[in-house]
């Protein structure tokens, strides 16, 4: 029975990940967007008929926008939880961890990222109505895009990144230092881990404003990197190279118009 319950929890966990990705993909199809988050043939034709028509009105309302971001958080961040949940599972043998505590850790983690979804939805609306991004969530000015790439790239070298990544990279140390029993205890630990995870990965969410927040390619690459970054084997070795890559990309975006104009 114990092993059946364990298997059911993990199957439910991975089913939630797959369901989240399927919903996001379905949303992009309903909005007539391709994998790069750009309007499809029908959207372009409709915009040509009426250039002033807002093609994606849900992106201009908090409710649908928050729902989109919340599902995106589940799709992108739940895969990064696998090492953390495996660490907690090890403590069900050597400490007082339980399956209900495992569920609590997962839900606490999700609460934090859903809260972040609400915050970034507000930021997106502010940028939209401020004329900084378009209806697809893409920055209109390459200068802003380049600066954002630089900020996220430089953050990879910061002390805050190092501390937050250290917790995400080695969750067992966090568990041992903040151990709480039961569902409530697991939820509290999940919330704590989620806060450190937001501190570690917030920049990759904001990079959606460079290529479009419904850009499935960006979502997939960001998820892959964040999963690799948390692996104990080599997670620490890719943080700074990614920072250099982002800094290089930011400088390219900022300098290219001058080079192209020569």
Interval 127-163: pLDDT, tens = 999 999 988 888 999 999 999 999 999 999 999 999 9
DSSP letter assigned to residue 139:
B
**pLDDT of amino acid 1:** 62
Which residue has tokens 């200068």?
Answer: 143
Helices (H), 95-158: 99-129, 142-155
Q: Residue 63: which domain range?
A: 2-260
Q: Name the pTM for this structure.
A: 0.88
> How many angstroms separate the CA atoms of 94 and 85, rounded?
15
Maximal CA-CA distance, the chain:
71
Q: For the chain, what is the domain count? A: 1
- What are the C-alpha distances in Å from 238 to residues 32, 111, 163, 213? 35, 28, 15, 24
pLDDT score at 37: 64
The DSSP 8-state label assigned to residue 179 in this structure reads -
Is residue 205 within 8 Å of residue 148, measured between CB atoms? no
Question: What per-residue confidence (pLDDT) applies to 257?
Answer: 77
For the chain, residues with pLDDT lower than 70 are: 1-2, 34, 36-58, 94, 260-262
CA distances from 217 to 152, 160, 227, 261 (A): 18, 27, 15, 29
Confidence (pLDDT) at 260 = 61
Give the three-class secondary structure for 55. coil
Nearest to 211 by CA among 120, 150, 133: 133
Residue 151 CA to residue 71 CA, distance in Å, equals 26
Q: 76: helix, coil or strand?
A: helix
């Amino acid at each position: 029975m114990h092993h059946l319950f364990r298997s059911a929890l993990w199957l439910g966990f991975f089913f939630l990940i797959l369901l989240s990705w399927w919903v996001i993909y379905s949303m992009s199809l309903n909005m007539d967007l391709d994998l790069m988050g750009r309007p499809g043939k029908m959207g372009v034709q409709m915009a040509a008929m009426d250039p002033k028509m807002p093609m994606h009105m849900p992106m201009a309302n908090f409710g649908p926008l928050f729902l989109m971001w919340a599902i995106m958080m589940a799709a992108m961040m739940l895969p990064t939880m696998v090492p953390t949940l495996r660490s907690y599972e090890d403590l069900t043998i050597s400490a007082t961890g339980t399956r209900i505590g495992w569920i609590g850790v997962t839900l606490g983690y999700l609460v934090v990222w859903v809260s972040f979804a609400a915050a970034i939805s507000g930021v997106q609306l502010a940028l939209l109505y401020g004329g900084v991004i378009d209806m697809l969530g893409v920055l209109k000015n390459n200068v802003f895009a380049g600066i954002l790439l630089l900020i996220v790239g430089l953050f990879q070298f910061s002390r805050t990144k190092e501390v937050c990544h250290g917790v995400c990279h080695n969750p067992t140390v966090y568990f041992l230092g903040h151990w709480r029993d039961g569902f409530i205890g697991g939820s509290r630990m999940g919330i704590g881990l989620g806060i450190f995870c937001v501190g570690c990965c917030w920049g990759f969410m904001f990079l959606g404003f460079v290529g479009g927040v419904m850009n499935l390619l960006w979502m997939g690459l960001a998820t892959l990197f964040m999963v690799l970054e948390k692996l104990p084997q080599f997670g620490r070795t890719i943080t700074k190279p990614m920072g250099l890559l982002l800094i290089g990309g930011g400088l390219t975006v900022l300098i290219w118009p001058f080079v192209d104009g020569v």
